[in-house]
């Protein structure tokens, strides 16, 4: 790969002002191609991951003091194309990273943030953010133990698919919620013991009838009525992990208070149950070992990884920087299965957003 011709400029997506309305606020910024400094590399992004929180980030909910224009996107599978002095990786190396500003065709990254990969493959992408969220939160925050009953919400999504499999690998009984028959089939295929399509079955009734002792651990990503149902059905010593509250993200407020909140102490106390928050960025030291463990399990065939490149989406397939907005909207359509990924290997990256 030595002597590779690099472009004179790079392109990145930026949000020009704070708002969750992704399509309205995104712009393409062009800059001279940077030269890597000491222990830095320039990577060419191949696959970038879409996350529910892409719109939380642009809304300024991660950092209320964030300065705009704000570089967006969190993660990519990429190839090193230029390396600075003393960099650990050479041009040609496939890598993966978690860094703000990943929605760009090229990016400068410090070598300490890179995870080396055997090849440029989209299926590795779910592990670094979505998979780490699932695995680290279930282990460290949920204190998941073999034989426990676990409820995973949005179980067929980017992080849900890994949460289901991680809990199964741990020897747990897994209940998973979803909203379509396609997702029900998907959940059965990845080993979910009791998929529940909440559009056709009443989750509260299913839990009361089939799990009268309650659920030991809940991986809760939805909020609102889903949060209430999960709190009501916690077992003695049950732990509910707040992973997200997606039902509020598209609104300007972000969070919509749920009915159960006002009575939370009275509901938790008699069960010695707890509600615990989890945010991946507070678990930086666990990131590398957990991502390496998932890659190992994937290579051994113990963990599956599903990516949605938009082949079945009306605005798909998701190829090129200009498709990122469509891919984010696909996530909010509730139709995606697995991790939504955009392939930047487009011939024409100069088309309009």
Contacting residues toward ligand NAP, per CB under 6 A: 51-53, 129-130, 133, 154, 157-160, 177-179, 183, 221-222, 243-244, 246-247, 278-280, 331-332, 334, 336
CB of 304 to ligand NAP, least distance (A): 15
Q: For ligand NAP, give the closer residue by CB, 44 or 183.
A: 183
Instruction: Give dist(CA 45, CA 12) in Å, integer.
Output: 11
CB of 327 to ligand NAP, least distance (A): 11
CB of 233 to ligand NAP, least distance (A): 17
Q: For ligand NAP, give the closer residue by CB, 271 or 335.
A: 335
Torsion angle, alpha carbons of 7, 11, 12, 18, to 10: 150
CB of 48 to ligand NAP, least distance (A): 13
Q: For ligand NAP, give the closer residue by CB, 54 or 105.
A: 54
Q: For ligand NAP, give the closer residue by CB, 90 or 253.
A: 253
Q: For ligand NAP, give the closer residue by CB, 38 or 201.
A: 201
CB of 281 to ligand NAP, least distance (A): 7
CB of 333 to ligand NAP, least distance (A): 8
Instruction: Label residue 229 exposed, middle or buried (CB < 10 Å: 0-12, 13-18, 19+).
Output: buried
Q: For ligand NAP, give the closer residue by CB, 57 or 106.
A: 57
């Amino acid at each position: 790969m030595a002597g590779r011709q690099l472009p004179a400029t790079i392109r990145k997506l930026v949000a020009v002002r704070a708002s969750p309305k992704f399509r309205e606020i995104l712009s393409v910024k062009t800059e001279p191609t940077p030269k890597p400094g000491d222990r830095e590399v320039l990577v060419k992004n191949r696959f970038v991951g879409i996350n529910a929180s892409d719109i939380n980030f642009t809304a300024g909910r991660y950092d209320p003091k964030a300065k705009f224009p704000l570089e967006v996107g969190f993660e990519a599978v990429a190839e090193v194309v230029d390396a600075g002095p003393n960099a650990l990786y050479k041009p040609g190396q496939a890598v993966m990273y978690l860094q703000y500003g990943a929605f760009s065709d090229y990016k400068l990254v410090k070598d300490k943030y890179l995870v080396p990969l055997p090849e440029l493959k989209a299926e590795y992408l779910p592990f670094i953010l979505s998979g780490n969220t699932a695995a680290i939160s279930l282990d460290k925050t949920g204190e998941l133990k073999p034989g426990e009953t676990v409820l995973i919400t949005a179980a067929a999504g980017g992080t849900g698919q890994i949460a289901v499999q991680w809990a199964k690998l741990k020897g747990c009984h897994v209940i998973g919620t979803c909203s379509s028959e396609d997702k029900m089939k998907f959940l059965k295929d990845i080993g979910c013991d009791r998929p529940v399509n909440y559009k056709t079955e009443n989750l509260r009734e299913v839990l009361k009838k089939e799990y009268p002792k309650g659920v030991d651990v809940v991986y809760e990503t939805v909020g609102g009525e889903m949060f209430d149902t999960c709190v009501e059905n916690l077992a003695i010593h049950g732990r509910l992990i707040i992973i997200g509250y997606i039902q509020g993200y598209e609104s300007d407020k972000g969070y919509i208070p749920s009915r159960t909140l006002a009575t939370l102490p009275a509901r938790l106390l008699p069960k010695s149950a707890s509600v615990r928050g989890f945010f991946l960025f507070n678990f930086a030291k666990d990131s590398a070992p957990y991502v390496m463990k998932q890659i190992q399990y994937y290579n051994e065939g113990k963990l599956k990884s599903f990516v949605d490149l938009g082949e079945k989406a009306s605005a798909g397939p998701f190829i090129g920087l200009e498709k990122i907005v469509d891919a984010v909207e696909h996530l909010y359509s509730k139709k995606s299965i697995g991790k939504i990924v955009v392939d930047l290997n487009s011939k024409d990256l100069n088309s309009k957003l």
